[in-house]
Amino acid sequence: MALIPATILTGFLGAGKTTLLNRILQQPHGYKIAIIENEFGAENIDNEILVQDSTEQIIEMNNGCICCTVRGDLIIALSSLARRRDAGELHFDHVIIETTGMANPGPVAQTFFVDEEVAMHYMLDAIVTVVDAKHAMQQLDQQEEAQRQVGFADKLLLSKTDLVSPAEVALLSARLTRINPRAAIIPLDPVHTPIDEILDIKGFNLNAKLEIDPDFLAAEESHAAEHADHAHSGSDCDHPSHQTEHAETNHERRVDGHHNHHNHHHAHHADDIAAFVFKSERPFEASKLEEFLDGLIEVYGPRLLRYKGILFMDGADRKVVFQGVHQIMGSDVGGKWEDGEKPASKMVFIGKNLPKDIFIRGLEQCLV
């Protein structure tokens, strides 16, 4: 039987998740959606709002936050929904899990890959994050969870744009893109919510699609050019497990000291969670790359939120696609390089305080 697509809907406290779900439930979009709510407190107002449409099924989880204490409950909720669907008691073709405002989406996402019964019935479609255009700047400054929710996202939906100026939206969007250049940013229309922006995004598919914000790419490239003259050799060994946190911090500091990065970052809000891209037109040597990536994920997995790459491998006429969440990585052989398409690798890494130089130098050493 086909796997049921599941969407994780996240967003900081008060971002507008319930408002959005409520609108989705009232729209005649033809999807039958089961909603899993994760709210604190016995009195659940959200639930009362949501039970307006009898075609949707709602399961509520009251025993705390999904991210740390009740992943087990999420497994139970998902498994029970699937069993009741198989038995013909429930009819739905999509699940949306609304997390609490403080939830870390990572463990929620990992549930779909780690738990066998969940993986047998569901495929994680995407993580969609609602961002409050009025309050996000402050939340991102003060709360790592807010940054994390942005970093994990496949799509960012801006709420409350009616309360701010276009210039504020532009400033926020630029910051969101620096944290996560993979996720498209869509302002929410207060009346009509395009369901296609939320369901069937295929964010976790091993497909040969890796869209990265063009402004982000341009900024990365000019940055790289700016510093090309100042390149210096690193340690002899670039295997990540041979690098220490200490060495890495010193290295970053050295770069900052030389080029006055520090001020540059501050002008931009120095978010701990950020992204970078690796690109090359030279092919990778498979065994070297595999060993390096395994090492990277072993060492930096806990700090890596999302990563994805489309790879040009030496001697292969097909693309290799990989993607992952924390330590869980999947890869597959994709389609052939199209006629007229120049084979090239492109990867994006989103994580917390990642040592970009170690990643880039290490990847460069895996090239043929």
Q: Interface residues with ligand GTP (CB under 6 A)?
A: 11, 13-19, 101, 159-160, 162-163, 188, 190
Residue 261 sits at φ, ψ, to 5 deg, of -60, -30
Residue 145 or 238: the one with the smaller Cβ distance to ligand GTP is 145
In the structure encoding, which two tokens stand for residue 75, read together?
Answer: 């497994």
Cβ-proximal residues to 25 (8 Å cutoff; 6+ apart), any chain? 33, 35, 50, 52, 53, 56
The C-alpha atoms of residue 337 and residue 345 are separated, in whole angstroms, by 11
Q: Tell me the closest approach of the beta carbon of residue 137 to ligand GTP, in angstroms.
A: 16
Amino acid identity of residue 35, one-letter, is I
Exposure of 350 by Cβ count < 10 A (0-12 exposed, 13-18 middle, 19+ buried)? buried
The residue to which tokens 């507008």 are assigned? 16
Q: Residue 251 Cβ, how far from ligand GTP at the closest point, in Å?
A: 39
Coil, strand or helix at 14: coil
Neighbours of 226 (CB within 10 A): 10
Whole-angstrom CA distances from 237 to 280, 286, 350, 362 are 21, 19, 24, 9
Q: Which amino acid is at 310?
A: I
Instruction: Give the nearest distance from C-beta 234 to ligand GTP in angstroms.
Output: 43
When the beta carbons of 159 and 243 are compared against ligand GTP, the nearer one is 159
Q: Which is nearer to ligand GTP, 13 or 367 (CB)?
A: 13
Compare residues 24 and 124 and give the one whose CB is closer to ligand GTP.
Answer: 24
Are 179 and 273 within 8 A, CB to CB? yes
Nearer to ligand GTP, 46 or 115 (CB): 46
Angle between helices 286-300 and 356-365 (to 10 degrees): 160
| Residue 190 or 302 with smaller CB distance to ligand GTP | 190
Beta carbon of residue 115, minimum distance to ligand GTP (angstroms, whole number): 25
Give 277's contacts (C-beta < 8 A, 6+ positions apart): 181, 212, 216, 217, 220, 346, 347, 348, 349
Using DSSP's 3-state secondary structure scheme, residue 168 falls into helix
- Nearest approach in angstroms of CB 79 to ligand GTP is 25
* CB of 185 vs ligand GTP, minimal distance in Å: 14
Residue 159 CB, shortest distance to ligand GTP, in Å, is: 4
Closer residue to ligand GTP in complex, CB, 18/57: 18
